[in-house]
Amino acid sequence: MHLLVLNGPNLNLLGLREPEHYGSRTYDDLVALIEHHCAQKGIAVTCRQSNHEGVLVELIQEAIGRYDGIVINPAAYTHTSIALLDALKAVGLPTVEVHISDPDTREDFRRISYVRSACLATVKGKGLEGYLEAVDILVEAIAAL
Ligand code: DQA
């Protein structure tokens, strides 16, 4: 089993950006956490981050035949991107949405998630550990296919 973990804009600045929402650990810390968790479960994982919507669309398209499932934190594109929703629907891979903070309890404009309808679950407000929960949900869903 090989999973793709995709992170959207500004998540490369974890540790620096708004620590009251996203904590003090860095993007590299996040990748190490996910890789360690997946290694313990005996599954392969590739983590990618981009600040560009089109690059994220291409990474989702290229996931066909390469990955068994996707964990995605589209960051601000969560609330704006029909292109990401369409890409996820097009590839049809099992996908779990994750957010470090809980966008539903923040500004009103964060309450809409365009990608949510293409995802089998959403994990939010659980910090970086939420990615591990998202991986576990995805692995169980793929195993049950
Ligand atoms: C986020 C929440 C989004 O509203 C925000 O734009 C982000 C990060 C999160 O992980 O909590 O960049 O997706």
Question: Of the residues 5, 21, 114, which should be mutated to test ligand 1's pocket, given the most ligand atoms within 8 Å of the CB?
Answer: 21
Characterise 139 by phi-psi region: left (phi > 0), alpha (psi -120 to 50), beta (else).
alpha
Q: What is the CATH number of the domain that holds 34?
A: 3.40.50.9100
pLDDT at 133: 98
Active-site positions read 22, 99
DSSP letter at 128 equals T
Residues of the chain with pLDDT under 70: none
> Does the C-beta of 78 come closer than 6 Å to ligand 1?
yes
List, in sequence order, the alpha helices (H) in 6-128.
Answer: 19-22, 27-41, 53-61, 82-91
How much distance in Å is there from the Cα of 99 to the middle of ligand 1? 6
Q: Please tell me the total count of domains within the chain.
A: 1
How much distance in Å is there from the Cα of 102 to the middle of ligand 1? 8
Q: Which pTM was predicted?
A: 0.98
Contacting residues for 102 by C-beta, under 8 A, at least 6 apart: 124, 125
pLDDT at 1: 98
Q: For residue 25, what are the domain limits?
A: 2-143
Reported as a single tens digit per residue, the pLDDT across 29-61 is 999 999 999 999 999 999 999 999 999 999 999
Residue with tokens 């594109």: 77
> Does the C-beta of 99 come closer than 6 Å to ligand 1?
yes
> CB-side exposure of 107: number of CA atoms within 13 Å?
5
